[in-house]
Amino acid sequence: MKIGNVNIDGFCALAPMAGVADISFRVLCKEFGAAYTVGEMVSAKGVSMNDKKSKDLMQIDSSEHPSAIQIFGNDPEVMAEAAKYALSFSPDIIDINMGCPAPKIVKNKSGSVLMKNPDLAGRITRAVVNAVDIPVTVKFRTGWDSLSINCVEFAKIIEESGAAAITIHGRTKEQMYAPPVDIDSIKAVKNAVSIPVIGNGDIFTPEDAKNMYEITGCDLIMVGRGSLGRPWLFSQINEYLSSGIYSPDPTPEERMNIMLRHAENICKIRGIKNGMCEIRKHALWYTKGLKGSAKLRNEFSIVKTFDELKLLAEKVTEIKD
């Protein structure tokens, strides 16, 4: 598929998960077959205030392309300026977050709260589109709550405002991530617009990916929580959609080696202290479901050095039936 003039060669993209989809995780997922990556959301207001953290989030590794920088905010002019600034980091696409349900984001009148104001959402989209010379996409949900599911009308406004593609997560803001994804709403959006539609939500297995494609007719799928501690899911999805079969999950030893490589990359970028703090949550995801790993969860959650992490990884691989 193509988003504007950008070729997306593959079946699935990595979602812009805040606090997870940093540069080290995106590069790893790309190695395992993610066709497209979207970075953690960046505050347009933060960029306007010269916030270092906001700018750090815009960093893109050369191996990631095609990749997008995602911005959020509620002021068309500020969003446009942030998009212009983002161009200095060489993204292929600018993505606008209109779907985040986090209370902190919603309280600041950004993210999914914009679904309650389609006119403003359209003006933001148009402002960003006019500000940059690369494709602009928008990610949103099915609606604010079950009584205001307006994703079809919202999608049409976003398309009319110049977006090159849209991503829809099949839940309302109020639903957060709990109930099963509303796959019929994704299908309805796909049928209502002519630009590419990316389906998102509940992609945990290759079979889930196939189901999303077959039911919705979407042009691409986006994997989020299903990739936590399982970046190889991208390669399994690619295999399954290409041939109908896919490789089994990595062995415990292979899984631990992937985790250690991930940890090394985080530490190179953030330093040992910050890197080890960051890898703790990933370590819990990497070891989830492995025999005997539950006994080591407390140790993984307080690991402080790479040598400690390596020792714990060895303990996991030594656990027998």
Q: Please state, in angstroms and rounded to a whole number, the distance separating the CA atoms of residues 283 and 276.
A: 10
Q: Please state, in angstroms and rounded to a whole number, the distance separating the CA atoms of residues 170 and 201.
A: 6
**Annotated catalytic, 218?**
no
Q: Please state, in angstroms and rounded to a whole number, the distance separating the CA atoms of residues 25 and 285.
A: 13
CA triplet 18, 23, 26: central angle to 5 degrees? Answer: 80
> Which structure tokens are listed for 267?
């530490």
Catalytic option among 12, 29, 100, 151: 100
Maximum pairwise Cα distance, the chain: 60
The catalytic residue positions are 100
